[in-house]
Each structure stands twice: as C-alpha cells, then as structure tokens.
Amino acid sequence: MRRVPRILLALGLAAACATPAQALERPRVAAVRATGAIRVDGVLDEADWARAAPITGFRLIEDREGEAPSESTEVRVLFDDTHIYFGCRCWNRGPGAIRASLAPRDQILELDQIGVALDTYRDRRRGFTFGVNPYGVQYDGIFIGGELDTQWDGVWDAEVTRDSAGWTAELAIPLSTLRFPEQGPGVWGLWIRRQIQKNDEACSWPLYRKAEGGDVLLQAADLTGLEGLRGSGLFDLQPFTASTWSAQRGAGGEGVATDWQRKRLTSVGLDARAPLSSTLTLNATLNPDFSQIEADALQIDVNRRYPLQFEEKRPFFLEGADIFNTAFDLVYTRRITDPAYGAKLTGRLGHVRLGGHVVRDDGGGSLEGVGGGPSEGVSTKGWFQVGRASWEISENSNVGALVALHQSDRGAGFTVPLGGEGASEADGGSNAVFAVDADVRLSRRWFFHGQLAHSQSQADTVSFPDLADSARAGLGWDRRRSTSRDVAYGGELDYSDGVRELQLFHQYLGPDFRAETGFLNRVDLRRTRVNSSFIVRPQNAVVRSIQPFLDGYVMHDRTGRLQEWWVSPMIDWKFQKQTYVYSAVERIMERWQSRDYRKTVGSLWMENTTWRALDLELGVTVGDGLFYGESDAESFRGWSEEYEIEATMRPSPRLTAGFSANRNRFSRDHGRGVLYDVWVLGAKTTWQFTRRLYMRVYPQYDTEARHLDADALLGYVLHPGSVIYLGYNGDADRIAGRHRATGHTVFFKVSYLFQK
C-alpha cells in the first residue's frame, strides 16, 4: 500500500508542474451573418455565399504531410439566429472519381466524405462533428483527441449535388443541437477534414502536423464572428411504442424438440430531454426502449480465458458517454440489462465537464469481468449510479473524479432451500468505486496520464440451517455482512515528435478490487509495459511508409510472483495502391493454474481498397496456444490457428454486401489431434432505397454451437429519434440430429421526436 501515496504524489506534481506548451499560431476565419434565408439544397446560389470568404489551402495529413492533395476543396461559413451553415465545394475529376454510396447514417467513413469539427467551448480537446458524403448520407459524432466517436446523434440537415467536376454539399446545423457558452467570446475552434478515396488521400484545414503532438483540435483554426449567439436548447419529447410477437422452443428429453411457447408483448415508453442552461442538459426516461435494432456480431466463445465484451448501442447511454471514459474501464453500461427508468445529467459548468446517471435495473446482467470476489451468475434488481467531473487546468490538461455505485436490493434473490441440506447465498449488497485521474501536457511532446481508484464491496450472506434437523429448524437463518476493499492505480508517459513515439505504462489492480459498473479482464496484477516505434516514409513507387514497433510488458501478482510476460516486434507497411500490411511475431510466457507456458505466435494482416466495388481484409495468426483446462492435468500447450476474412462489396450505389468468416482451430500438434475447429460466418446485406429507407438482412452461423441467427430489418429513419422499424429475428439449432427452427420473433417499433 505504500505505492499508493506515490501515485497520488505523481498526480499532484504532474498537475502542479505542468507548463503550457508554446502557443501555436492558429489561422482565423470569420463566419458571415446571412442577410437572407438559406435554402439547403446543395446549390450555393444565395448571394450570402459569395460574401463569405472561401477556406482553401487544404493539405495532406498522415502520409506526404503538408503536400497539396490531388483535388481542391473550398468551404464557406454562414450563420443566422438559428443555424450555422457550411457550403463545401469538393472537386473530383476523372472516370470513376467519386467513391461513395447510399448507406445507413454514420456508415460512410471509409469512402469519400467531408466533415467539420466544431470546438464550441474552445477547449482544444473535444468537438461536435458533422459530415456528409457525395450522396448526402450524414454522419455525426464527438471528436476527441484524434478519434471520432459516432455514437452521438444530432438533428441537422444536409443536401448534396454532383456534377462532372465534383460535388457540392450544404450543411445546416441548428444552434439548438450544439452546446456552447452563450456569453462567450464568440470564437469556436474549427477543423475540416476531407477524404479522397480514389487516391487514398486525407487532407485537412488547417493542416494537422503530427510533430506538434497533443490532440488534433489543439491545431484547429479560430472561427470568429459568433458573438451573441443563443443556443436556446430544445426540449425534446420522444414517445415510442413497440410490439413483439415471439415463439420459442428447445430440446426436451432425448433431444426431441419441445412444443412452441408463444408470447406477445406490447410496451410504451417515453424519453425526455430538457436544457437546464445553454451548456447543461437533463435526460429522463420511463420504461425505456432498450431493444437493439442492430444485432451483436457473434463472437467465438470457446477456450477463452477472459469474458466477452460487447459494444453499447442504446441511445440513452450513448449520450455524453465519452465523459465517463478513463484509463480503467470503470463504466460498462451493458451491465445494465433490464432498466426500468432513469435520469442522466450531462454538460458543462465553466471549465468543468459533468456527467452522471441514475438507473433502476431489474437485473439479469452478467457478472463476468467485474473483478475481485464472486464473478459468476447474474446481477439482481438494484440501482446503478455514476457521476463524473473533469476540470480543465490548461490546454490538453485536466484532472477528474469519478464515483460509480451499484446497490442490489436486499432479498432480491432470496430463496429458502426445500431439501434437508444447509445452504447459504448472497442477499443484497453494494459496490462503490471512487477514482481520481489526470491528463497533463508536460511539454510540447510529453504527456502524462494517471488514475487512482478505490473500491469497497459489501454483501450480506444468508446461511440456512439443516431444516431436516428438528432441533435446529427453529433457529431460522443467520445473516452476516462481509466487506472487502482494494485499490487500482496506473500511470502512462507518452512522447511523440511525428517520427518517433514512446509510451511507458505501469498498472496495479489489487486482488479484491471490484467494479460492478465496469469491465476488468483480470485483477491481482502489477504490469509494466513499454511501446516504441518510428516511421520511415520513402514515398517511392511501391512503399508509402514503414513503421516498426517494439512492444512488451511484464506482469506480476501482488506477492511479486511472475504471471506473464510478452514481447513483440511488429511492422506496419503502407503500400501504394491502397494496400496496408501488418506483421508481428510474439514471444509469450503465461502462467495458468500452477504452471508456466511459453508460446511463440506469428500474425499477418492485409487490407486492400484499390477497387471501387470491393474492400478486402485478410488475417492469419498461428503459433503456440494454451488450452485453459480446469486443472493442471487438463491444461496443455498446443497449436492454435486463427483465420479472418472480411469483404465488402458495393456493386451499385444502393447495395452494400459484407461477408465475414472467422475460423479458430486448436490441435495438440500442428493440425494433428484437433480439439475444436470453430467457424463464425456472417453476411450483412443492405439495400438503401433512399437515404431514409433501407432493408437489411444479416444471417450469422456458429459451427461450435451449431446455431444460426438470422435477422431482417426494414427501417425508415426520418432523423435520429423519429424512426419506424419492422423486423424479424430467427434462430435455428441442432436438435435430434438435424437443424430445426428454435425461435421466431417479429417486432414493430415506432418513435417520434418532438422538439420545442
């Protein structure tokens, strides 16, 4: 425990000693107030567009940094009392020049598109992003650091026109969709990025120079002239109704299929959002619809040491989700499986970002991956409560605090054994995690990230006497409360100068550290890791860049006993003709049960997007593998093979077909004595009738479980929140020697977003 004060001291010293890097000279551009109405039609023919100064001078980022792209781009900015407008002219000449298609919202990032990031708080860290492709398909999200999180959705308009020389886009973003200080200086950060897929180019304005280090928005331009704007945040009311008709059956005695069990369910719910100020929003939900229209992709779940983790897709949890992201994954909302109602607060007060939610859950969530203590079974009814605040102390530097609580109801899982055996079980309990963290820019190229967390868990254990013993039967049961506490901490030091990169990590998670609101692969570890790389850009007719890596870590348990080490040289190759290759060799020592196993593994991954109608990805990982048996006698080192194929075909602008195949085979000796050979296959096909109306078919098959999951969906999305879905989910399993249908579900959902 003496290490904990050292981490606290490091956090404090890093925050106190942080010296701002030399201020960058950022370009400035003025937004022009429109004098007349702007019609959003993809044609920049209003007189106000001619009054706005064009933004030009886009330059390539990443490879060939700073060079002029193959095509020109112009962007103009207007605003009025209700909207901010962007007019984009994207030249794109030549046969087959435009590489884009109709697609569902947010699924256009790999092809031609242009997007703007608006840093409305000018914190140089986080920005609202809005983008569009040549067919008018929109994407939006939150741009953080250098990554775009498309989970956030806003309501805004865009229209596009195409011609022989390129395409023109017109974006109209309501001020009520944004959050910004109404009494601010009227200056926002602005960064614009365009992708030109035919030549595998990405360009931006202003130019993002990797050698500067830090988040991309540190180098964003200043968008001026926005004084006096009012957001007048909208009050949103989103009622929904959903009906489900289902029939299920399984295998009974001797593997014979049982009778169908049919059920019909209709539910009505309501989501509401109210602005408490121009920067703070309150969300509430009653009987929320947390059905997942997009099915989870099947994953191989055989011979795994750690539990599977799934992506969050439910709208209530997605809003403001980025504020809860910290070094340790202490907020994993998929734990909340069956919520009844809840409320969420997100936004900003001055230099402090705030977020929190309180949700009543009816239980059923898996306890795998919660950390120390019991990790099997499912959660019972209870409350999830999470709060986080992050204080900005300078550009790209902040300190934060997080509180995450899970309270299980007393008596939620209470049962009295009927037999004559004594028994005990958990009855109620609580888990609390308290954490502080810091992200500090120490200099132009050095960054520090650290976090310290403390968990406290309490559980009531109910012990029952042997009820067959008449002498003890009247004693009833005993209730005892157990308490466990532990800590977790970590620190990371990063360096980057555009050519060389270095990361130094150290983490500790105590054996009793538990986070029932989060996701932890394992606890009882002390891990130190080093990752270094440099990049070479020969820019010849074959190779665009070569980036060798050397990565490795060593891990001990709390007592200092070696548990694992791993070292891997890797190389990223970028070739001309839109081809990417990754190669790696790994040397590993892993302790399982009471033995140490040494393994050597090789990996090769290739991606190619040369052809307009086909994207192809191939991957192979082969080498020593470990069979995780329940004892030393059942565990052994064998030969593991993993093969992956992903292909995306676009034979027409309206049709997108994606195929994936993942094979995992394990044998005792290079293909001899095969223990399992599992395939997971999927084929997702989407026909986009219009930007709003689409149909999708998505069958998936797991050869290990011999399970077929087939989904079909007809969707109409007027805008986020106003949708109509008609869908079918079907299941088939192996029963009595052949595949039989085991489930049918038809569902219908409609919701509408009212804004005032």
Q: Give the residue, 477 or 1, on which the prediction is more confident.
A: 477
Band of residue 40 on the pLDDT scale cut at 50, 70, 90: very high
Residues in the chain: 756
Among 532, 442, 451, CA closest to 488: 451
Which residues in the chain are classed under CATH 2.60.40.1190?
A: 31-224
Q: Between 610 and 632, name the one with better pLDDT.
A: 632
The confidence score (pLDDT) of residue 419 equals 40
Per-residue pLDDT band for 281 (boundaries 50, 70, 90) equals confident
pLDDT, position 424 = 40
What confidence tier does 425 reach under pLDDT thresholds 50, 70, 90? very low
- Is residue 692 over pLDDT 50? yes
Please list the residue range(s) of the chain that carry CATH number 2.40.160.
522-690
Q: How large a percentage of the chain has pLDDT more than 70?
A: 90
Whole-number pLDDT of residue 413? 45
CB-CB contact of 699 with 709 (8 Å):
yes
Question: What's the topology of domain 31-224?
Answer: Immunoglobulin-like (2.60.40)
Query: pLDDT digit string (tens) for 511-524?
Result: 999 999 999 999 99
**53 CB neighbour count, 10 Å cutoff:** 11
Burial pattern 348-382, b for ≥16 Cβ within 10 A else e, equals: beeeebbbbbbbebbbebbbebbbbbebeeebbbb
CA–CA gap between residue 171 and residue 169 (Å, rounded): 7
562 or 8, higher pLDDT: 562
Q: Residue 121 carries which DSSP code?
A: T
Q: Enter the DSSP assignment of 418.
A: -
Structure tokens at 229: 């704007």
Would you identify the CATH topology of the domain 522-690? Porin (2.40.160)
- Identify the pLDDT of residue 466: 53
Per-residue confidence (pLDDT) for residue 181, from 0 to 100: 85
What pLDDT digit, counting tens, does each position of 228-242 carry?
888 756 788 989 998
Contact 173, 83 (CB under 8 A): yes
> What's residue 358's pLDDT?
96
Q: What is the mean pLDDT of residues 55-84?
A: 93
State which amino acid sits at residue 268: V
pTM surpassing 0.95? Answer: no
